[in-house]
Amino acid sequence: MKRVLLAIALTLGFAGTTVAQQKVGHINVDELISVMPEYLSAQAEIEKYAGQLESDATAMQEEYMTKLQNAQANMDTWTELRLQKENEELQTMGQRIQQFNQSAQQELQRKQMDLMLPISEKAQAAVEKVASANGFTYILDASASKAVVIYLDGGEDILPLVKSELGIN
């Protein structure tokens, strides 16, 4: 029994020594990415694309509303068959608008991922380079959106080093 306790104590002692020798740093990746020049141009492109999609959706909605108002205005003068045809067209238009909105949302998300992935990869490469060059064992992401670090007291903030690596003031 004493041997088992001694083995556990030695193991814990070595584990504690190992942890004490490790260098831990942290970085707010969201903040890093937000100051990268590529991010600003990607955001501008995403906003422009979103504006185009919104413009298309608005045009479709306006066409629908015009057709609906026309049908309502002529309800008393059109035949039942014509009203039925107009109602079917309005339903079809409504479905197309709904499908367009869903597709547009998916397309906007795809565009965001396509534009942001290279930026994230560049930031990751810079973090890895700085961590390796400065002897860090662990780098934790201290971004509020990621919730990887919920308490921070100690470690080294490598944001200034990574910004320097990327040539950002």
Domain count, the chain: 1
| 51-74 pLDDT, tens digit each | 999 999 999 999 999 999 999 999
Give, in order, the Cα–Cα distances in Å from 165 to each of 31, 32, 121, 128, 129: 15, 11, 14, 11, 8
9 in a domain, yes or no? Answer: no
Q: Which amino acid is at 84?
A: Q
pTM of the full structure: 0.71
Instruction: Tell me the residue type at 100.
Output: F
Residue in the structure block whose two tokens are 């197309």? 96
pLDDT attached to residue 5: 38
Is there a domain that residue 71 lies in?
yes
Quickly list DSSP for 17-35.
HHHHH--EEEE-HHHHHHT
First to last CA, the chain: 60
Residue type, 169: N
How many helices (H) and strands (E) would you count in the chain?
5, 3
Residue 15 in any domain: the answer is: no
The parent domain of residue 133 ranges over 20-166
3 belongs to a structural domain: no
Does any domain span residue 25? Answer: yes
Rounded Cα–Cα distance for residues 151 and 142 (Å): 9
Question: Does a structural domain hold residue 60?
Answer: yes
Residue 12 lies in a domain: no
Burial class (CB in 10 A: 0-12, 13-18, 19+), 93: middle
pLDDT profile of the chain (169 residues), mean per 10: 44 49 88 95 97 97 97 94 96 97 97 97 94 90 77 76 88
